[in-house]
Amino acid sequence: MAISKEVYKVFESIVGDYYVSNDPVICESYRSGPGGYENGTGYERVMTTIPGCVIMPRTTEEVQKIVKVCYKNDIPYVPYSTGFYGPKSHPHVEDALLIDLKRMNDFYLDEKHYYVEVGPGMIYSPIQEEAMRHGAYVVIGGGGAQASAIANLIGDGWSPLSHRIGLPHRRILGTELVLPDGELLKLGSLANSDDPFWGECPGPDLRGILRGYTGVRGCLGIVTRMAIKTLPFQPERLQPTGISPNTVLAFPEKRVKWINYVVPSKEAQVKAMYEIGKAEIGGAVTKVPLFWRSIAKAEDKEHFWEMWGKENEKTVANFFIVRVLLIGYTSEEQLEYDEAVLADIMSEVGGEARPTKPSDESWIKNADSAGMWLMCGDYVSVDYVIETLSQATEHGPTYAELKKKYTPPLMPDYGDPGWFQSFELGHQGYSEFLIYWDHDDDTDPVDQFYLDTSIMNINHRFYTSLLGPHQPMYLTGPQYGPNYHEYFLKVKDEFDPKWMSHPPVPLAHDVLIERSPWLKKMKYWETPDDLPK
């Protein structure tokens, strides 16, 4: 149902005339595709549409009022912070209201208690700059420097720096959530004062409803304010250097240092990561896909393919690197000590240090995610797992094997098993598998691969991020729990009985399967007849 003139006027009275628009050109600019994360896939083409109207609130109170009007008038709505990460943050039904949160970009830094407080419009790179200026730092999650920190933290929110800083759910402190019907829920210490310094709630920790393994994509309301834990960094400035596109942060060399080691085997990689964690050294410990190195070195797309075209299954299979970021958090002597310990560990596993630039261009203030689109034009992280270091690294090769069936149109990567790294000082391991393609090719196999990985995980009993609203819940839910999906749907019904907050999430993937013949032919599981159409 299109938004009536009367309701439109109410919206105007909430945010002012300028900040609400149903102009078709304004609405078109909020289209998810044709490019970007997961765009060009079936999910984008089948499940997304342009909004019927866009509104830009400035305050939590305005968000509440907007949502209440939506609830009263049966207007589906979608919260939208930066819109970077693909179709899942865009409307899935006609005539939806897109609530653009970019004006809610308040920022407050509490130097003494090591946290920052932000609105959903605030992105990562300014947060990191402000934090570092005050001797602290945060993780810029894989979403990158330009991602909304709140959206990223309730979605994913990790990077190689999670080796030291830890996982995102530990860094979410006091949080405000406007529930789907407009009621305000305050989490953590915000529950009894206006001080967001602490994340734990009296009673159940309700932060869990926001993210779990990964986020719920706006289907349980809108986070309007969040305090994020920062941790102490070293005090010297990382100096911005160079002119675009070759810009880097130059290190104070006695305080911060990346060292790349080549090791003889995957076992050596895992052992090195484990030992580094056990020794409690390092700010980041990671192994990235070989082609990321080519991206970093490439002058342009054509140069990338020139370089990558020289690789083959053998060179990829024999490439074992461990990339370690050392930080002298407390002193130059600490870095010296950590480097000596690292050298011992590497000597034990047969690692050889390679010349490494005294600068960072990828992780500390960025997470160079936008570069992922350079070589093909399209990209998605298919899946990720958090396990023990030894188990996490088992997943990548299974994805690589399955991927062969879908290459092309997927980018030839010669069996690269993806990215893995240490989290929380080696207590946990992380593996992520990414795929790349060009959406001018036939993208049906891309969708099929995505679904097939989920089926593969069920068969292997792997426990991965796909349990969230990223795959058909009637496929994954009965396999894990066995009533994970029912539990989630009960939560959804309880908080959002009218399903106004970003419908049909969390069942969007189930709906996608029904609407997409190239996926439906893979379906072997049951779904209820009353699935949203």
Partner 1 sequence: MDSKNEGKQRYYKPRAEVALDIEDMENFVYDMSRCIKCKGCTWVDHTYMPGAKFMTRCPSATMYEYDAYGAYGKMRIAHGMAEGKVEWNDKALEIMYACTLCGACDVGCKRNLDLEVELTLESIRVKAVKDGVGPLPAHKKIAENVKKTGNMFGSSKKRTEWIPADAKPADKADVLYFVGCTASYTNHEIAQSTAKIFKAAKVNYMLLKDESCCGNAIFSSGMVDEAREIAKKNVEAMKKSGAKKLVTACAEGYRMWKVDYPKLLNIATADLGFEVLHLVEFVDELVKNGSLKMKKEFNTRMVYHDACSLSRLSEPWTPWEGKRGWMGCVEPRLKRRRGTNGVYEQPRDILKAIPGVDLVSLPRERENAYCCGAGRGTKEAFPEFAKWNANHRLEEIRDAGAETLVTACPMCKNNFAQNVKENGNDMQVMDISEVICSAIES
Window 296-315: residues binding partner 1 (CB under 8 A): 300-302, 305-306, 309
Rounded to 5 degrees, φ, ψ at 232 are -65, 135
Whether omega for the bond prior to residue 408 falls within 30 degrees of 0, making it cis, is yes
Binding to partner 1 by CB under 8 A, coded x per residue (else -) over 408-437, reads: xx-xx-------------------------
Beta-strand relationship, 97-100 and 53-55: parallel
- Of 45, 287, 365, 485, which one interacts with partner 1 (CB under 8 A)? 365
Q: Looking at 216-224, 342-350, 402-410, 497-505, which segment touches partner 1 (CB under 8 A)?
A: 402-410
Window 130 to 149, contacts with partner 1 (CB under 8 A): 130, 133, 144-146
Are 466 and 477 in contact by the 8 Å Cβ rule? The answer is no
Window 368 to 397, contacts with partner 1 (CB under 8 A): 368-371, 373-377
Closest CB 18 distance from partner 1, rounded Å: 9
Window 74 to 103, contacts with partner 1 (CB under 8 A): 82-84, 100, 102-103
| 171's tokens | 């860094």
CA dist 403 and 397 (Å) reads: 10
CA dist 488 and 345 (Å) reads: 45
Closest CB 15 distance from partner 1, rounded Å: 11
- Of 16, 232, 235, 240, which one interacts with partner 1 (CB under 8 A)? 240
Closer CB to partner 1, residue 90 or residue 163? 90
Closest CB 241 distance from partner 1, rounded Å: 8
Window 103 to 132, contacts with partner 1 (CB under 8 A): 103, 107, 122-130
Compute CA distances 168 → 21, 54, 146, 206, whole Å: 35, 30, 17, 15
Closer CB to partner 1, residue 367 or residue 519? 367
| Residue 438 exposed, middle or buried by CB count within 10 Å (0-12, 13-18, 19+) | middle
Window 26 to 65, contacts with partner 1 (CB under 8 A): 26, 28-31, 33-37, 39, 54, 56
Window 312 to 341, contacts with partner 1 (CB under 8 A): none
Closest CB 441 distance from partner 1, rounded Å: 6
CA dist 351 and 267 (Å) reads: 12
Closer CB to partner 1, residue 352 or residue 442? 442
Output the 3-class SS for 510-522. Answer: HHHHHHCHHHHCC
Rounded to 5 degrees, φ, ψ at 116 are -120, 150
Q: Looking at 254-262, 361-369, 450-458, 460-468, which segment touches partner 1 (CB under 8 A)?
A: 361-369
Q: Looking at 338-346, 404-412, 470-478, 522-530, which segment touches partner 1 (CB under 8 A)?
A: 404-412
Sheet of 107-110, strands arranged across? 107-110, 115-118, 222-229, 172-178, 184-187
Closer CB to partner 1, residue 33 or residue 188? 33
Beta-strand relationship, 97-100 and 77-80: parallel
